[in-house]
Amino acid sequence: MKKNSMYLRVLIGFTLAMTAQGVFAFSYPSHAVVCDLAYQYATPETQRVISGLVRQSGEARSFAQLCGWPDRVRTIDDYKHTSVWHYINVARKDTSVHRAHCPGKGCVTEEIRAMQKRLQSAPESDWQALAFLGHFVGDVHQPLHVSYADDRGGNQTRIYYRGERTNLHAFWDRDVPGLSGTLAKDSTLIASFVVAAPSEGSPEDWASESLQKTRDIYRDYKKGARLDESDISTDRQWIRSRLHLAARRLASLLDQLLDSSAAE
């Protein structure tokens, strides 16, 4: 009965995440692709540890699925405090992100650090740290997750895409990437976008990259804009390359944490 109750809570949480709080969530296909490719790029030892943690979780059958877990549980009482971990807000005048931008209740950049520490301390058992880390590396590479509190990360800027009303955040989370939702197909597509060898950098460096795009978005996409496929081709190329870069950075990070030989 307890197990069934927990399943029901997660199911309800997932449904709510796709509605009220889903506006703050990078779309599931994007997270799945980032983590699927990161797993493919990781060393065999890192893959072994990841697979073991996925099995322990009881929440997923693959790392790609596990990376959607943080969005599925964020509306459940025990995890509501994690909702603010998915993004970071800055002032509109800011051009880069620093640790001082993160409030005491947490943000995506500091939680990337926190989950690294947790996973390093318990690499064979802390599956939640793995799920959060994979998810947050994806989030920090999405521009509207590094944005402005006064617009709730683009959620209050209404636009129209292909005749349907949406908002700037949802548009960049789901419509601009334009993924099919079929993992093998989407991963092959994203892997085809050539990216430079990822620099190590810090979570703030990655967030600063996203912020530069956020500034462009607020310049180019005006409230009430009516858009179709022809208007977003350049940005679609950009976000797909960004997903590939996130995957490569995540793989490098996981190798450092989970494969001692890779860190030498």
Kindly list the structural domains of the chain, giving each domain's residue range(s) and its CATH number in brackets, ordered by start.
2-263 (1.10.575.10)
| φ, ψ of residue 95 in degrees (nearest 5) | -120, -5
Could you tell me which residue, 191 or 263, shows the higher pLDDT?
191
Mean pLDDT of 28-35: 97
Q: pLDDT > 90: what percent of the chain? A: 84
Contact predicate 150/179, CB 8 Å: no
What DSSP state is assigned to residue 181? Answer: S
Sequence-ordered strand ranges (E) for 183-246: 226-227
> What is the pLDDT confidence band of residue 194, given thresholds at 50, 70 and 90?
confident
39's tokens: 């797993």
pTM exceeds cut of 0.75: yes
**Nearest alpha carbon to residue 247 among 33, 72, 48, 16:** 33
Contact predicate 189/201, CB 8 Å: no
Mean pLDDT of 153-161: 97
**What single-letter amino acid sits at 199?**
S
Q: What is the mean pLDDT of the chain?
A: 90
The Cβ of residue 159 has, within 10 Å, a number of other Cβ atoms equal to: 20
